[in-house]
Amino acid sequence: MDLYMNIMFSRSDLSRAEREMMAVITSISNNCYYCQIHHSQALNHYWKDNAKIEKLHENFDNANLSEKETLLCKFAKTLTLNPGTLKEETLINELKEFGISDNAILDATFVISYFNFVNRVVLSLGATLEDDGGTGYKY
């Protein structure tokens, strides 16, 4: 829990919403329904836009995201599905060229890596949503 709190709540160049958004994209990429629901609810605490959340689930390219948000989603999906394809001269440089700091890239990597780990724990243990549909999540 300490690791989660540090990754998701510590000071960062990334906003809490950006971190939750990457958690959602990672969980979608891993087909982890439990984490998709919980972190979509957390993200919507910041976005307050159910339609945008639905579009994020369908295809983040059509979710009216900022360029930075789109790059972070692309990073989350790529690192999750094809980690070996990330090279300094490709997506990492796109993030840097946009102005995302090395610290923010490291923070994004921690968020994505953490959720890849947790998604696998949740999936392997067969965790299901709480009776309240996960609405008791604390932001």
Domain map (residue ranges) of the chain: 2-8+16-125
Dihedral sign (CA 10, 118, 2, 138): positive
Dihedral sign (CA 29, 34, 37, 43): negative
Question: What is the fold of 2-8+16-125?
Answer: AhpD-like (1.20.1290)
What whole-number percentage of the chain has pLDDT above 90?
Answer: 83
- Work out the average pLDDT over 97-122: 97
In this prediction, residue 131 has a pLDDT band, given cuts at 50, 70 and 90, of: confident
Tokens for 102, please give them.
């090395």
Residue 49's Cβ-count burial label (10 Å; 0-12, 13-18, 19+) is middle
Classify 7 as helix, strand or coil.
helix
Residues for the chain: how many in total? Answer: 139
Of the candidates 37, 19, 9, the one whose C-alpha atom is nearest the C-alpha of residue 113 is: 19
- The model's pTM is 0.92
Tokens for 43, please give them.
């993200």
Q: Which residue has the higher pLDDT, 84 or 108?
A: 108
Tokens for 105, please give them.
């890239």
Rounded to 5 degrees, what angle do the CA atoms 78, 126, 133 make? 90
pLDDT of 138: 57
pLDDT of 86: 74
Q: Does pLDDT of 100 surpass 60?
A: yes
Instruction: Spell out the long-range contacts of 81-89 with Cβ–Cβ below 8 A and sequence spacing 24 or more.
Output: 81/29
Q: pLDDT of 17-75, one tens digit each?
A: 999 999 999 999 999 999 999 999 999 999 999 999 999 999 999 999 999 999 999 99
